[in-house]
Each structure stands twice: as C-alpha cells, then as structure tokens.
Amino acid sequence: MSETDSLLRQQEWRIIDQSSVGPQFPALESFAMDDTLCASVGSGRSTAVARAWVHHQTIVLGIQDTKLPFLKEGINYLDKHDFKAIVRNSGGLAVVLDEGVLNVSLVFPESERKIEINRGYDAMWELIRRMFSDFPVSIEAKEIVGSYCPGSYDLSIDGRKFAGISQRRIRNGVAVQIYICVNGSGAQRAELVKGFYQTAKKQVETKFTYPDITPSVMASLTELLGVKLTVQDVMLRFLNVLKEHSGKIFSDSLSAQEWPLYEGYLTRVVERNNKVFDALEEK
C-alpha cells in the first residue's frame, strides 16, 4: 500500500483518550462510544477519530459465546476469578481486558468511497508496525491457532499472538478496533479463557466450533520484546505515529450533539446485555 493511499493519513485526527479513566469505567460504555463516533464520523459531523481505552478485569463475550450450553457456570467461573463478563454488540469470541491491555479504535468516514474490510484491517496492522518499528521484529497478521478469539488478522511475533483486530460499521462510519496486550502474562489471560470454555461447554457437542486454547501461543509485548512497557509508553508511540500521518491531531471529548446519540447507543447496549443475563437467571 502506498503512503498516500494509507487510511492513517488523515487531514485531522481527533483524539479521545480514555486509557487512564480507571476501574470505574465500565466496558459497555466503550461499545456505545464507538457506535456514537461511527455515526458521527459517518455523517460528516466529526473528523476521523482515534480513541484509546482501558478496562479492568473484564471478559468481553461475543454473540456466539452466549449460546454456550453451560454459560451461567462459565460466568460464575469468571466471577470467582474476579472478572466481570459482558457481551459486545458485534462478532468474535471471548477476549480478556485488564489494566495491561490497551484498546485502540480508529474511526474512518466512508463517505467518499467504500473502505474494503481488509483495507480497514491493514490500516490497523500498519499502525502497530509503525509504532514498534524501532524493534528488530516482524509483526505478522495471520490466524494464530490456539489463541482466544482467533482471526485472520491476529497480530503476532514469532508465532505468539499479542493483539486481535475487529471492525464495526454504522452509517458510513467504520470503526477498526484492536486490543493490545502490553504487559502481564499472555498465557495467564489465555488460561482464564480456556477455563471459561471448559466450564461453559464441558464435553457437549455444539454446532459452533469454540477455540481449543493453547495458552503458550499468547504473549504480551513486554514478554515478546524483552522490554518493560506500560500502557502510557504505548500511548505515546500511538500518538507519535498519528502525528506523522496528519496535518493536525487534537485532544477532545464527545460534543453536545454527540451526547444524546451516545445515551441512545448505551441504552441499547445495556438492554442487550440485560436480556442475555436475565435469560440466564430464568434457567
């Protein structure tokens, strides 16, 4: 991809940094936030947005995870390990969020021409490669079998996954989202998800194939690069790359026009979650 064709090159990047809000910041708010920004960017009310966010002790389940035969037992297992389960409003499977995992969303307008799905994924892959270009490593994008939430754009170094990318599209806005395991143990996070699936599925045959997790294929960047990294270290690298690809970056929060939109999306996300968990209580 040529430099001029890169989605990272935007006239302006609007930065919304929620990476240090703390443990009182519930993950459901993040999904409502990205939907709001998608709609806002897609309608032309906002320039392209880069949002960073961190959530504590949360397992984000995909829609398929809610169909596990012993889901309630699986959620109890997570509770015992001090992790709260929520359900996101898009595809994919269970992922771990904690204070060592940085999430980044890039929200692009699709008004001028359609952004192909792979082009969105490639933009995020390019961002991560540029962020760590000073390290003598190759960051690959391919499915890492045995990882949690496996996909064709798993990011890995030497066959060990440290990040996964997803996409969401609303009203001419495209949000490309990534979780980056910055520090801590990738294998420990994977053990937690493995235990969840073992508890929630047991030996039952299911139509959908859930991942058979091999914890050793997951790692954090700190483990892979041999350098102690913090979320704020990675934030600085992230902002520096965006600066190089923009005439201007500026820090911002939701506008007065976006707040009502956000409240509407949050209500929907919360209601969807309540529906899943209320159904479990009735079983």
Residue positions annotated with a catalytic role: 149
The conformation of residue 73, written as its DSSP 8-state character, comes to: H
Is 148 in contact with 60 (CB distance < 8 Å)? Answer: no
Task: Please state, as a whole number, how many other Cβ atoms lie within 10 Å of the Cβ of residue 188.
Answer: 13
Spatial CB neighbours of 184, under 8 Å, sequence gap ≥ 6: 98, 100, 101, 220, 222
Q: Are strands 155-157 and 140-141 parallel, antiparallel or unpaired?
A: antiparallel
End-to-end CA gap in the chain: 52
Is 152 in contact with 143 (CB distance < 8 Å)? Answer: yes
Burial (CB count <10 Å: 0-12, 13-18, 19+), residue 134: exposed
Question: What's the CA gap between 10 and 34, in Å, rounded?
Answer: 18
| 64: helix, strand or coil | helix
**Distance set, CA 18 to CA 11, 158, 223 (Å):** 22, 31, 25
